[in-house]
Amino acid sequence: MEDASRKVEESGSSKRSQRQQERQGKLPRRHKEVKRSLRRPDCPEHLSGGSVHWLPEQPESEASVSVEDTAESCPKRWDRCRRGHFLHGPYPATHFGPKACVLSNPTSVMHIQDPASQRLTWSKPPLNVLVIRKIRDETLLEPFKELCRFLVEEKHLMVYVEKKVVDDGSLMRDDSFSAFRNQLCTFREGYDDISDRIDLIICLGGDGTLLYASSLFQGSVPPVMAFHLGSLGFLTPFKFESFKTEVDKVFEGNAAIILRSRLKVKVVKGMFQRNEQLFSTQENGIAPHNHINNEAGKITLQLQVLNEVVVDRGPSSYLSNVDLYLDGRLITSVLGDGVIVSTPTGSTAYAAAAGASMIHPNVPAIMVTPICPHSLSFRPIMVPAGVELMITLSPDARNTAWVSFDGRKRQEIQHGDSIKITTSCFPVPSICCHDLVYDWFDSLAQCLHWNIRKKQTRLTDASDSSETEN
């Protein structure tokens, strides 16, 4: 009995000493810890911002913590992960119109798809085609007639055309066009909703035709095929000379496509109370909740914008003075001629003229560019696509501001109004002529003459330049 009790005391003392050494860090912990790579993610896949890859199942001895053990902590982690905005922006819709979608890519990570695998496919053959023609340009009458005749008579499609285009005087007097004019479906902008009828959009003209096509579809946008028949043609990669071959390729499917992100914009009138004490926020501070007058705030305009939102001083001779918020936090005040909030597609438009960098449309970002700022250190910046920007008049602004959306719907912004901007879930799927990388750089070189200079002549002597000088 004494030997047994002695053994128990020795084992107890050895366990106590071992625990003390573990606390002091001399011995490793005896219990088995769960590897981080084997644990379930705290957030759902669409909230964590990436694809979840599971490792092979380990034996039960390798993992001592089960799913049930972490069930109590999951709600807290879920609450931490559920946010209104995400680092990489909202996942864009992959269906465009009734019948078009992007080929699924199971290897995509963090919602960034391999450009080589970004291809267009059709669930059903397209039947309804919208043709948009640049107005007030007589040189486009013949291409417009050729395209419509090809789509109606050879492809046997239902072609939608804007009524003011068909009612053009030159077309009304054309006998060859009147033969199939009655087979065209007409619509009027602002009166007829065709957003759920169109399978494919074909644009004839410049970049303005693509912007106009985007404005017609405030939700899901059908694929857009743009032919270069305008002045600049940065967004129109196709040549009209081979339009039949190009259209046939698109109808076959598997065409390269680029998703041009849009901005979802809301204009809220009377959202802020006109009170100097309420507007006295500290620099880089969060706007207090009592600024917002929920009863008076009213959304007067909601748009999807492809290029940019421009806030400027309008006809006033005073500097524009607006405050810029990011996710409710005051970032800075803009003193100058105004500010441009643009998509990557719009970075090569007004923003580039104002000194901003040019961003490839596949980059998930929002560009903020000041217009002639009264500060030498105010440079253009890029913010993540998932944040919400808000622009308001500063409380000490001497005049109102004016805002326009892709150059349209210009209106005045008073004290107490706000403009909320974030990335839309409905991009514009623009069909590429070659691929989304080559087309963009080709447009930079051809349209903007990016990095084009007279080439340097090669040296005739193969020796080093330092030796020739000596």
Helix (H) or strand (E) holding 276: helix 276-279
Q: At 180, list the tokens.
A: 């199939």
pLDDT, residue 20, reads 57
Closest to 187 (Cα-Cα) out of 219, 163, 153, 205: 163
- Return the HEC string of 287-342: CCHHHECCCCCEEEEEEEECCEEEEECCCCCCCEEEEEEECCEEEEEEEECEEEEE
CB atoms within 10 A of CB 244: 13
The pLDDT score that the predictor gives to residue 214 is: 95
pLDDT classification of 161: cutoffs 50, 70, 90:
very high
Strands 418-423 and 408-413: unpaired
Identify whether the C-beta of residue 101 lies closer than 8 Å to the C-beta of residue 95: yes
d(CA 140, CA 204): 8
Q: What is the pLDDT of residues 336-379, one digit of tens each?
A: 999 999 999 999 999 999 999 999 998 999 999 999 999 999 99
Question: 232 versus 237: which is more confidently predicted?
Answer: 237
Residue 304, pLDDT > 50, answer yes
Could you confirm whether domain 119-253 is CATH 3.40.50.10330? yes
**CA 293 remoteness from chain centre:** 30
d(CA 88, CA 44): 15
Structural contact between residues 233 and 430, judged by C-beta atoms closer than 8 angstroms: no
- Which range has the worst mean pLDDT, 45-49, 303-307, 357-361? 45-49
pLDDT on residue 149: 93
Dist CA 388 CA 385 (whole Å): 8
SS3 percent helix, strand, coil of the chain, rounded to 5, is 30, 25, 45
Instruction: Give yes or no for residue 235 having a pLDDT over 60.
Output: yes
Percentage of residues in the chain having pLDDT higher than 70: 71
Question: For residues 92 and 112, is the Cβ–Cβ distance under 8 A?
Answer: no
pLDDT for position 80? 41
The predicted-structure confidence for 186-223, as pLDDT tens digits, reads as follows: 999 888 889 899 999 999 999 999 999 999 999 999 99
Question: What pLDDT shows up at residue 213?
Answer: 95
- Among 3.40.50.1970, 3.40.50.150, 3.50.50.60, 2.60.200.30, name the CATH number for the domain at 263-272+297-425: 2.60.200.30
- Number of Cβ within 10 Å of residue 2's Cβ equals 6
Are the CB atoms for 265 and 390 separated by under 8 Å? Answer: no
Pick the closest to residue 389 from 293, 336, 324 (CA basis): 324
> What confidence tens digit (pLDDT) does each residue in 6-44 have?
554 555 555 555 555 555 544 444 443 333 333 333 333
Q: Strand 200-205: give its sheet, edge to edge.
A: 95-96, 100-102, 119-122, 255-260, 428-431, 224-228, 200-205, 128-133, 158-162, 185-187
What pLDDT is recorded for position 289? 40
pTM: predicted TM-score of the whole model, two decimal places: 0.73
Comparing 119-253 with 263-272+297-425, is the CATH topology the same? no
**Where are the chain's structural domains?**
119-253, 263-272+297-425
Which residue in the block uniquely carries the two structure tokens 């912990």?
A: 29
Look-up of token digits 């007097």: 173
Q: Which residues are catalytic?
A: 207
pLDDT tens figures, 399-456:
999 999 999 999 999 999 999 999 999 999 999 999 888 999 999 998 888 998 888 8
| Helices and strands (DSSP H and E) totals, the chain | 13, 22
Long-range contacts of 183-188 (CB under 8 A, 24+ apart): 183/152, 183/159, 184/148, 184/152, 184/159, 184/160, 185/158, 185/159, 185/160, 185/161, 186/160, 186/161, 186/162, 187/160, 187/161, 187/162, 187/163, 188/162, 188/163, 188/164
